[in-house]
Amino acid sequence: MKLAVLPGDGIGPEIVAQAVKVLNVLRADGLKIEMEEAPIGGAGYDSAGDPLPQATFKLAQDADAVLLGAVGDWKYDDLPRDMRPERGLLRIRKDLNLFANLRPALLYPELASASTLKPEVVSGLDLMIVRELTGDIYFGQPRGISRLKNGEREGINTMRYSESEIRRIGRIAFDIAMKRNKKVCSVDKANVLETTELWRQVMIEIARDYPEVELGHMYVDNAAMQLVRAPRQFDVMVTGNIFGDILSDEAAMLTGSIGMLPSASLDEHNKGMYEPSHGSAPDIAGKDMANPLATILSVAMMFRYTFNDPASADRIDNAVRKVIAQGYRTGDIWTQGSEKVSCSGMGDAVVAAM
Ligand code: IPM
Ligand code: MG
């Protein structure tokens, strides 16, 4: 297994270091894992003048899977858009054709009180957001800021989806639903936006091939509301790039902390990039206090989806379950009475539990 390891910016390097410890446990037990590190985001810009240096892209392209920390820092905010860290992330997603972004939101029973919502609303929560990742208003042309005839500026972005783009992400969602509770909720804004009217039509067409799966539809505003009102009604949610970006942050918070949520971004051959759903948190970078569990759980997803090794995936998932049950907490999920640990302390606890 060839792995490209891209720590990125902010807390990226420290959380990735914990995930690498976990990989080293598996390696010591006989798995043949090769890892090579390269800079991306602000780190890419600093070292090679490009948020996705050519050598980094090549490494990622040749690898079987990519492990990514996070990108972004305020200090890059004034760079031209193409040089900003986020651009490196968007380019690697697009250029590796990682169109299927899986963001599970799972509540560990012991963390119910860490959620800002009432425990009875969130307990038992287990939903999977399937977000399209290489299309939509994120990539649609035309885009830009231009000058109108009257001299004022105008900003333009374009929401667009082709039928085949919708179909391939829809199929992924239905396939995942077949392995879960067989419910898909497709999120759109079909009452206003034609792009998503087509989205809805295509989802209905796909559903004909999955008679066992119950397909429902929700407008995105209602979905945002339902997620905090009664989140357990959802099994699999499938939606476009921008709606998925927003709803996945919201869903993450139901579980107590965005620091718990892993993600997988897959191409059609299940090659994938694995990263925590959260950002680079520059305010706590280098302080050894970030929660590494989302990154560690992303490694579990890597074994599940790319390496087809559910035993190793379960081993990591179970170790995380165990450290949570043992009461270890980083600051973001800490509640009175539990034991506060550092980022590296949490990594060590997971390694011990394995
Ligand atoms: C995410 C992030 C990214 C996105 C940013 C950093 C470009 O918010 O992965 O959800 O918008 O996709
Ligand atoms: Mg986001």
Q: Looking at the structure, do residues 110 and 93 belong to the same domain, yes or no?
A: no
**Sign of torsion over alpha carbons 209, 242, 251, 324:** positive
- Which of 214, 229, 262 lies at the terminal end of a domain, its last residue? 262
> Mean of the pLDDT values across residues 115-141?
94
pLDDT score, position 110: 87
- Which of 227, 262, 297 lies at the terminal end of a domain, its last residue? 262
Percentage of the chain beyond pLDDT 90 is: 91
Q: Which residues line ligand 1 (CB under 6 A)?
A: 86, 89-90, 245
Q: Tens of pLDDT along 147-176?
A: 999 999 999 999 999 999 999 999 999 999
pLDDT score, position 257: 81
Q: Looking at the structure, do residues 62 and 208 belong to the same domain, yes or no?
A: no
Distance (Å) of CA 351 to CA 186, 207, 318: 38, 42, 11
Q: State phi, psi for 296 to the nearest 5 degrees.
A: -65, -40
Q: Looking at the structure, do residues 85 and 104 belong to the same domain, yes or no?
A: no
Q: Looking at the structure, do residues 89 and 104 belong to the same domain, yes or no?
A: no
Q: Give the chain's mean pLDDT.
A: 96
Q: State phi, psi for 346 to the nearest 5 degrees.
A: -65, -40
Nearest residue by C-alpha to atom 11 in ligand 1: 245
pLDDT score, position 112: 86
* 61 DSSP assignment: H
Q: Is 81 helix (H, G, I), strand (E, B) or coil?
A: helix
Distant-in-sequence, close-in-space partners of 251: CB < 8 Å, separation ≥ 6: 103, 105, 127, 129, 227, 231, 237
Question: Which domain range does residue 217 map to?
Answer: 100-262
- The CATH number of the domain where 123 resides is what? 3.40.718.10
HSE toward the beta carbon, residue 118, CA cutoff 13 A: 4
Nearest residue by C-alpha to atom 9 in ligand 1: 277
Q: Tens of pLDDT along 195-224?
A: 999 999 999 999 999 999 999 999 999 999
Question: Can you read off the two tokens belonging to residue 165?
Answer: 């783009």
Cα 298 to ligand 1 centre (Å): 16
> Mean of the pLDDT values across residues 45-67?
97
pLDDT beyond 90 at 44? yes
Q: Which residue has the higher pLDDT, 260 or 17?
A: 17
Nearest residue by C-alpha to atom 10 in ligand 1: 245
Cα 279 to ligand 2 centre (Å): 8
Q: What's the rounded Cα separation, in Å, for the pair 236 and 206?
A: 15
Q: What's the rounded Cα separation, in Å, for the pair 231 and 223?
A: 9
- In this structure, the strands spanning 34-37 and 262-266 are unpaired
pLDDT score, position 322: 97
Beta bridge partners of 65: 3, 272
Q: Looking at the structure, do residues 207 and 110 belong to the same domain, yes or no?
A: yes
Q: Looking at the structure, do residues 12 and 113 belong to the same domain, yes or no?
A: no
pLDDT beyond 90 at 263? yes
Q: Looking at the structure, do residues 118 and 94 belong to the same domain, yes or no?
A: no
pLDDT score, position 259: 87
Q: Looking at the structure, do residues 221 and 141 belong to the same domain, yes or no?
A: yes
Q: Looking at the structure, do residues 112 and 252 belong to the same domain, yes or no?
A: yes
pLDDT band at 288 (very low <50, low <70, confident <90, very high): very high
Q: Looking at the structure, do residues 245 and 140 belong to the same domain, yes or no?
A: yes
Environment of ion ligand 2 (residues, CB < 5 A): 245
pLDDT score, position 252: 87
Cα 351 to ligand 1 centre (Å): 29
Query: Which atom of ligand 1 has the smallest separation from the CA of 263?
Result: 9
28-37, 104-113, 153-162: the lowest-pLDDT one: 104-113
pLDDT beyond 90 at 335? no
**Under a CB-based contact definition with an 8 Å cutoff, are residues 353 and 323 in contact?**
yes
Residues labelled catalytic: 138, 189, 221, 245, 249
* 233 DSSP assignment: G
> Mean of the pLDDT values across residues 170-186?
97
Q: What's the rounded Cα separation, in Å, for the pair 156 and 11?
A: 33
- In this structure, the strands spanning 126-132 and 236-239 are parallel
Cα 277 to ligand 2 centre (Å): 7
Percentage of the chain beyond pLDDT 70 is: 100
Hey, which of 40, 89, 246 would you mutate to test ligand 1's pocket, going by the most ligand atoms within 8 Å of its Cβ?
A: 89
- In this structure, the strands spanning 100-106 and 262-266 are antiparallel
* Number of domains the chain contains: 2
Q: What's the rounded Cα separation, in Å, for the pair 40 and 94?
A: 15
pLDDT score, position 56: 98
- Which of 230, 262, 294 lies at the terminal end of a domain, its last residue? 262
Q: Looking at the structure, do residues 95 and 240 belong to the same domain, yes or no?
A: no
Over its C-alpha atoms, the chain yields an Rg (Å, rounded) of: 20
pLDDT score, position 241: 98
Query: Which atom of ligand 1 has the smallest separation from the CA of 71?
Result: 6
Nearest residue by C-alpha to atom 4 in ligand 1: 245
Q: Looking at the structure, do residues 112 and 224 belong to the same domain, yes or no?
A: yes
pLDDT score, position 186: 98
Q: Which ranges of the chain would DSSP assign to H, the alpha helix?
A: 12-28, 42-48, 54-62, 85-95, 119-122, 163-178, 194-207, 220-229, 241-254, 293-305, 310-325, 343-353
pLDDT score, position 114: 81
